[in-house]
């Protein structure tokens, strides 16, 4: 008997063979491109810790959305940087708020682009927390009303999907009720269900100037040590009416994505967050890694783990690389 009979290398010999038996494929069609919108006009200001990402004023944001759409990216998610912040995050649920204005402009120019709005207060509160403060704590139930109002104003401005990222208990149900009560029964909720209290959000907080002014987010975002709890969070969100669930960050939490894929039938999104992006960029600048290969490998791994949809700052670049 010739040895060995089994030679897995047979199917690795050429790129044609490798492509033929490849199990996981990336596609621009399942990417969401995160964008930051700020007041003013003709503003394109680079975020230092996220090279190649900008705070865009509404006029230029529309052009950036067009560029993404033309590359085959179906969806963007918008984060707002308001003119001013206050205790209760008024800018988040102002019908004339920065994100609401941005949605109107983008949907008018690109009706077929899926515009997703992040629902959270942290970019709009002076203290930088995702909820209202009561007796020095982040109060859950009084925050829910404001989140529901935020989602409603976004949808009334034209948002196709709302994505609560605050991690308050019960917010998916509260948002669902509010949207339904106003006739928006057809608008899906993409819930940031398993969102960890992560150091990987550092660069985003510079971008949105949303670092908490006191304390941290550990009383509402999840403990990085917990896996079972993520399944519980997802189950609750699905029960409350989440249409798509999200795991965030992505690469350090592949086990959570895989478990979620096994336990739930809803589409799963994963967020390759700012810190995951910036690590690759920083190492590439030092000449220590092959940047493009690392981008593609990290995203392929997130897909392989079980994510259907990926939010990534590399969306445009990946769409270009995939041709």
User: Residues 88, 154, 165, 193: which binds ligand PBG (CB under 6 A)?
Assistant: 165
Q: Which residue has the tokens 């989140």?
A: 147
Q: Which residue has the tokens 């690759």?
A: 280
Kindly identify the residues of this chain, within the stretch 183-212, that bind ligand PBG according to CB under 6 A.
Answer: 201, 204-205
Residue of 48, 195, 213, 218 marked active site: 195
User: Residues 274, 278, 298, 312: which binds ligand PBG (CB under 6 A)?
Assistant: 274
Which residue is at the shortest CB distance from ligand PBG? Answer: 204
Residue of 85, 107, 248, 316 marked active site: 248
Name the segment binding ligand PBG (CB under 6 A); options: 93-101, 118-126, 141-149, 176-184: 118-126
Minimum distance between the CB of residue 205 and ligand PBG, rounded to whole angstroms?
A: 5
Name the segment binding ligand PBG (CB under 6 A); options: 59-67, 116-124, 151-159, 180-188: 116-124
267-288 as b/e, with b when 16 or more CB fall inside 10 Å? ebbbbbbbbbbbbbbeebeeee
Minimum distance between the CB of residue 273 and ligand PBG, rounded to whole angstroms?
A: 4
Please identify, using beta-carbon distances, which residue of 69 and 204 lies nearer to ligand PBG. 204
User: Residues 102, 120, 133, 159: which binds ligand PBG (CB under 6 A)?
Assistant: 120
188-202 as b/e, with b when 16 or more CB fall inside 10 Å? bbbbbbbbbebebbe
122 contacts ligand PBG (rule: CB under 6 A): yes
Nearest to 194 by CA among 129, 266, 89, 117: 266
Residues 234 and 257 sit within 8 Å (Cβ to Cβ): no
Name the segment binding ligand PBG (CB under 6 A); options: 17-25, 114-122, 170-178, 281-289: 114-122
What is the C-alpha to C-alpha distance for residues 230 and 41, in angstroms, rounded to an integer? 41
What is the C-alpha to C-alpha distance for residues 149 and 153, in angstroms, rounded to an integer? 6
* Known catalytic membership, residue 195: yes
Q: Which structure tokens are listed for 126? A: 């002076």
What is the C-alpha to C-alpha distance for residues 166 and 294, in angstroms, rounded to an integer? 30
Please identify, using beta-carbon distances, which residue of 20 and 214 lies nearer to ligand PBG. 214
Minimum distance between the CB of residue 30 and ligand PBG, rounded to whole angstroms?
A: 18
273 contacts ligand PBG (rule: CB under 6 A): yes
Nearest to 107 by CA among 83, 72, 78, 71: 78
> CA 9, 12, 13 angle in degrees (round to 5)?
95
Minimum distance between the CB of residue 81 and ligand PBG, rounded to whole angstroms?
A: 11
Beta pairing class for 75-80 and 54-57: unpaired
* Known catalytic membership, residue 248: yes
Please identify, using beta-carbon distances, which residue of 140 and 274 lies nearer to ligand PBG. 274
Residues 226 and 279 sit within 8 Å (Cβ to Cβ): no
Minimum distance between the CB of residue 123 and ligand PBG, rounded to whole angstroms?
A: 6
Minimum distance between the CB of residue 15 and ligand PBG, rounded to whole angstroms?
A: 33
54 contacts ligand PBG (rule: CB under 6 A): no
118 contacts ligand PBG (rule: CB under 6 A): yes
Q: Which structure tokens are listed for 87? A: 């205790």
Size of the site for ligand PBG (CB under 6 A): 9
What is the C-alpha to C-alpha distance for residues 73 and 315, in angstroms, rounded to an integer? 7
Q: Which residues are identified as catalytic?
A: 195, 248
Chain contacts with ligand PBG (rule: CB under 6 A): 118, 120, 122, 165, 201, 204-205, 273-274
């Amino acid at each position: 008997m010739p040895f060995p009979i089994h030679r897995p290398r047979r199917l690795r010999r050429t790129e044609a063979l490798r492509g033929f038996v490849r199990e996981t494929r990336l596609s621009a069609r399942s990417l969401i491109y995160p964008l930051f919108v700020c007041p003013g006009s003709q503003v394109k200001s680079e975020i230092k810790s996220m090279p190649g990402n900008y705070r865009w004023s509404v006029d230029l944001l529309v052009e950036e959305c067009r560029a993404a759409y033309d590359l085959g990216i179906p969806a963007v998610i918008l984060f707002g940087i308001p003119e001013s912040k206050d205790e209760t995050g008024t800018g988040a649920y102002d019908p004339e708020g920065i994100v609401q204005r941005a949605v109107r402009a983008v949907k008018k120019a690109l009706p077929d682009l899926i515009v997703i709005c992040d629902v959270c207060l942290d970019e709009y509160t002076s203290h930088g927390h995702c909820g209202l403060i009561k007796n020095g704590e982040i109060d859950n139930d009084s925050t829910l009303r404001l989140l529901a109002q935020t989602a409603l104003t976004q949808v009334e401005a034209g948002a196709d999907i709302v994505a609560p990222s605050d991690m308050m208990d019960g917010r998916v149900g509260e948002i669902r009720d509010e949207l339904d009560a106003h006739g928006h029964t057809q608008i899906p909720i993409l819930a940031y269900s398993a969102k960890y209290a992560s150091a990987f959000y550092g660069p985003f907080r510079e971008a949105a100037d949303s670092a908490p002014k006191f304390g941290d987010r550990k009383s509402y975002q999840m403990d990085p040590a917990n896996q079972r709890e993520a399944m519980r969070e997802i189950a609750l969100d699905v029960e409350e009416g989440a249409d798509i669930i999200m795991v965030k960050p992505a690469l350090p939490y592949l086990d959570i994505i895989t478990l979620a894929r096994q336990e739930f039938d809803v589409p799963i999104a994963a967020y390759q967050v700012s810190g995951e992006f910036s690590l690759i960029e920083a190492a590439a600048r030092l000449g220590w890694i092959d940047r493009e290969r690392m981008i593609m490998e990290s995203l392929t791994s997130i897909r392989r783990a079980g994510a259907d949809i990926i939010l990534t700052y590399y969306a445009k670049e990946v769409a270009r690389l995939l041709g």
